[in-house]
Amino acid sequence: MRLTGAVVLVTGASSGIGAALVRRLAGAGSHVLAVGRHPDRLARLAAETDATTLLADLARPGAGRDLADRAVARYGRVDVLVNNAGTGWAGQFAGMTEATADELLTVNLRAPIELTRALLPGMCRHGGHLVFVGSIAGRLGVAEEAVYAASKAGLDTFAESLRLELAGRPVRVSTVVPGVVDTPFFSRRGQPYRRSRPRPVPADRVAAAVTTAITRNRAEVYVPGWLRLPVAVRGLLPAAYRRMATRFG
Ligand SMILES: NC(=O)c1ccc[n+]([C@@H]2O[C@H](COP(=O)([O-])OP(=O)(O)OC[C@H]3O[C@@H](n4cnc5c(N)ncnc54)[C@H](OP(=O)(O)O)[C@@H]3O)[C@@H](O)[C@H]2O)c1
């Protein structure tokens, strides 16, 4: 799909990866619908990029459907949906409240499903592309991020299943799998990233991977690319992988 002239809906546009992606898409000539919760941050992005901003709290059940209606009302169609908004929480699972677990599952998994359900019929008629921003946590599992990892694993499997189901239709499906990215994600979840490795990659590198996934129709893109190695090792040698993961984290 060409980005020039495409109508692209980006959730989580007010920060980090989403904001970098809006800048790239606007530079490529897309009509961008930038979604977030913070009007001031979105207004600054709109002034810089000409993107149309839409406010939505995706932690509210039904927000995805409502957002899809407002997006279609603006341009008459959405060609590309980038399900990027996400929220994290880190700590022992026993210390996690039910409300926080619900919020993670709603923002990271339920809202993308709602948005996809609402926009897919139009895409099946005129063509489209669905992008899901997952996480290496959803591919491997991470200690003290059990619900976050589960929400991203659910997103992954949803995307993979849709890709199979939509074969032969004019709708493409891509999953982008970042490792550690230099964004406010960690400060927002209340626990900074403290490890020296892997080193965080810039948000714009993930934004570039998203645009490549759209223009070259890639089913999945890891950022950085070497992350596919631990996933492969886990698939081929699960016992050895678990021993290493338990030892090195
Ligand atoms: N940073 C990493 O290391 C990393 C690694 C792997 C995957 N990811 C994934 O990448 C995606 C983008 O994250 P990021 O790193 O760019 O983090 P970020 O800078 O914290 O941005 C998160 C975005 O999600 C939006 N969001 C969160 N809760 C929301 C809600 N209830 N309703 C609507 N929007 C909401 C935020 O909107 P507001 O600003 O308006 O609240 C913000 O625009 C997420 O799905 C994350 O899980 C990140």
Atom of ligand 1 nearest to the CA of 181: 3
Q: Check which CATH number belongs to the domain holding 24 and give it.
A: 3.40.50.720
Residue 17 Cβ contacting ligand 1 at under 6 Å: yes
What amino acid occupies position 33?
L
225 vs 149: CA distance, rounded Å? 19
pLDDT at position 73 is 97
Using 50 as the pLDDT threshold, list the residues of the chain that sit under it. none
Ligand 1 atom showing the smallest separation from residue 184 Cα: 19
pLDDT of residue 190: 86
Q: What is the pLDDT of residues 145-167, one digit of tens each?
A: 999 999 999 999 999 999 999 99
Full residue range of the structural domain in which residue 110 is found:
7-248
- pLDDT, position 64: 95
Count of domains observed in the chain: 1
pLDDT of residue 52: 98
* CA nearest ligand 1 atom 18, residue: 185
- The residue contributing the CA closest to ligand 1 atom 23 is 12
The DSSP 8-state label assigned to residue 108 in this structure reads: I
Active site residue 241: no
Token reading at 136: 């290496």
Q: Is the CB of 62 under 6 A from ligand 1?
A: no
Reading the block at residue 167, the tokens are: 């074969």
* 228 falls within a domain: yes
Identify the residue whose C-alpha is closest to ligand 1 atom 45.
Answer: 86
Is residue 162 in some structural domain? yes
8 A C-beta contact, residue 81 and residue 9: yes
Any atom of ligand 1 within 6 Å of the Cβ of 117 = no
* Domain presence at residue 24: yes
- Considering only CA atoms, which of 22, 153, 37, 146 is closest in space to residue 88? 146
CA distance 86 to 83: 9
Averaged pLDDT score across all residues of the chain: 96
Is residue 84 one of the residues assigned to a domain? yes
Domain for residue 78, yes or no? Answer: yes
1, part of any domain: no
Asked if the structure places residue 87 within a domain, the reply is yes
207 falls within a domain: yes
